[in-house]
């Protein structure tokens, strides 16, 4: 093999090593930013989720679930112009208090609900007419040191159990915490 080919192999190999190391470094930093799996604490012991009525601080946001209710499979309104809403599963109402402790306003987004089977459920936008006036906070700006009471209604399958609300710090790629809703 000629020296020319040897130099080409060394240069290409070196470039490949630099690219691979750079990719490992990038993905390592990305994983660190996103955080690790929060289902275990040191020594692989399960993390206990927070409870209803307990202040939960995630980053610069304080959350407190005030109420969680299983509303059954049908929502009805006192307003004659709103038709009942039904599901093959059940509706879950979550009423919570949220406070932005950052120095800038943040956009409110409800957390998702998870169950024991690892399924994730977002809020049901069809249920908005059944939320009490003044407690619908979808995409609302929350100013610093302002407390809001917000309500969301979720649709979950009938067999969902171990329901937990996952809340975050209202910032992209931020930390999260779970609040046990004490619903089967």
State pTM to two decimals. 0.72
* Top-confidence residue, 14 or 104: 104
The domain spans of the chain are 3-34, 49-180
Mean pLDDT is lowest, of 20-29, 133-142, 157-166, 175-184, for: 20-29
Closest by CA position to 102, among listed 65, 44, 152, 145: 145
**105 close to 142: Cβ distance less than 8 angstroms:** yes
pLDDT band at 35 (very low <50, low <70, confident <90, very high): very low
44-101 pLDDT, tens digit per residue, is 545 567 999 999 999 999 999 999 999 999 999 988 999 999 999 999 999 999 999 9
**Residue 19 reports pLDDT greater than 80:** no
Class of domain 49-180: mainly beta
Residue 10's pLDDT is 60
**For the segment 96-123, what is each residue's pLDDT rounded down to a tens digit?**
999 999 999 998 888 899 999 999 999 9
Specify the 3-state DSSP secondary structure of 95.
strand
Quote the CA–CA distance of 178 and 118 in Å, as a whole number. Answer: 13
pLDDT at 27: 53
């Amino acid at each position: 093999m000629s020296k020319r080919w040897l130099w080409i192999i060394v240069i290409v190999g070196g470039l490949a090593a630099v690219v691979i190391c750079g990719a490992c470094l990038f993905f390592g930093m990305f994983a660190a930013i996103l955080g690790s799996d929060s289902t275990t604490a040191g020594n692989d012991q399960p993390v206990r989720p927070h409870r209803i009525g307990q202040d939960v601080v995630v980053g610069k946001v304080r959350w407190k679930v005030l109420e969680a209710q299983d509303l059954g499979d049908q929502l009805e309104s006192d307003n004659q112009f709103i038709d009942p809403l039904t599901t093959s599963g059940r509706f879950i109402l979550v009423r919570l208090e949220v406070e932005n402790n950052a120095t800038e306003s943040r956009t409110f987004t409800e957390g998702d609900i998870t169950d024991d089977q690892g399924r994730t459920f977002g809020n049901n936008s069809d249920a908005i007419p059944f939320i009490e006036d003044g407690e619908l906070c979808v995409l609302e700006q929350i100013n610093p040191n302002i407390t809001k009471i917000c309500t969301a209604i979720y649709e979950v399958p009938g067999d969902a159990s171990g329901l937990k609300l996952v809340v975050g710090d209202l910032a992209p790629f931020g930390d999260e915490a779970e609040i046990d809703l004490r619903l089967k």
